[in-house]
Each structure stands twice: as structure tokens, then as C-alpha cells.
Amino acid sequence: MKQWQCVVCGFIYEQQHGLPEDGIAAGTSWDDIPDDWLCPDCGVGKSDFEMVEI
């Protein structure tokens, strides 16, 4: 399963859980997250995430 991990702090975005507290519903694919969205842990932008296989 592919997940997205923040290269700065290690935060992992999991599509199946989404981030309801940030207004991102469970199941939201990475592509559908707005470009101005920021990592909830460290504040970096979407372009600083990289995909890691876990």
C-alpha cells in the first residue's frame, strides 16, 4: 500500500483514514488534497511530501 510521508517530520498521510480534523474526508486521494494544504505536524507544503511504500 502506498502512503505519503512528509520528508521533514515523518508524518504519514493515509488515504483510508484521511484527516477529518483538517477537513479531509477518509478515502481522499493524495491528488485531491488542495495544493495549499500543509503538513499538520510541521507545516511544510504538499510539494515536500514524498511517496513511500510501507
Partner 1 sequence: MAEKTVILGTGLAGYTLARELRKRDPQAELLLISRDDGSSYSKPMLSNALSKDKTADTLVMAAAEKAADDLNADIWTDTEVMQIDAARQQLQSSRGAIDYHRLVLAHGASPIKIPFAGDAADHIMSVNSLADYRIFRQALHNRKRVVIIGAGLIGCEFANDLTNIGISVDIVDLAPQALGRLLSQQAATELQNRLQTAGVKWHLDNAVTSVNHAGQALHVDLKDGTRIETDIVLSAIGLRANIKMATEAGIATERGIIVDRYLQTNQDGIFALGDCAQVEDLHLPFVMPLMNAARALAATLTGEQTAVNYPAMPVVVKTPIYPIVVCPPPRPTHGEWHEEVSEDGIRARFQDEKGNLAGFVLTDGLVKERMAMAKEIKDWLV
Tell me which residues touch partner 1 (CB under 8 A).
7-10, 20-22, 40-44, 47-48
Residue pair 28/17 in contact (Cβ under 8 Å)? The answer is: no
Question: Which of 29, 47 has the CB closer to partner 1?
Answer: 47
CA 54, CA 45: separation in Å to the nearest integer?
Answer: 22
Q: Cβ 7 to partner 1, closest distance in Å?
A: 6
Minimum gap (Å) between residue 49 Cβ and partner 1: 12
Query: Cβ(53)–Cβ(11) under 8 Å?
Result: no
Nearest residue (CB) to partner 1, 8 versus 15: 8
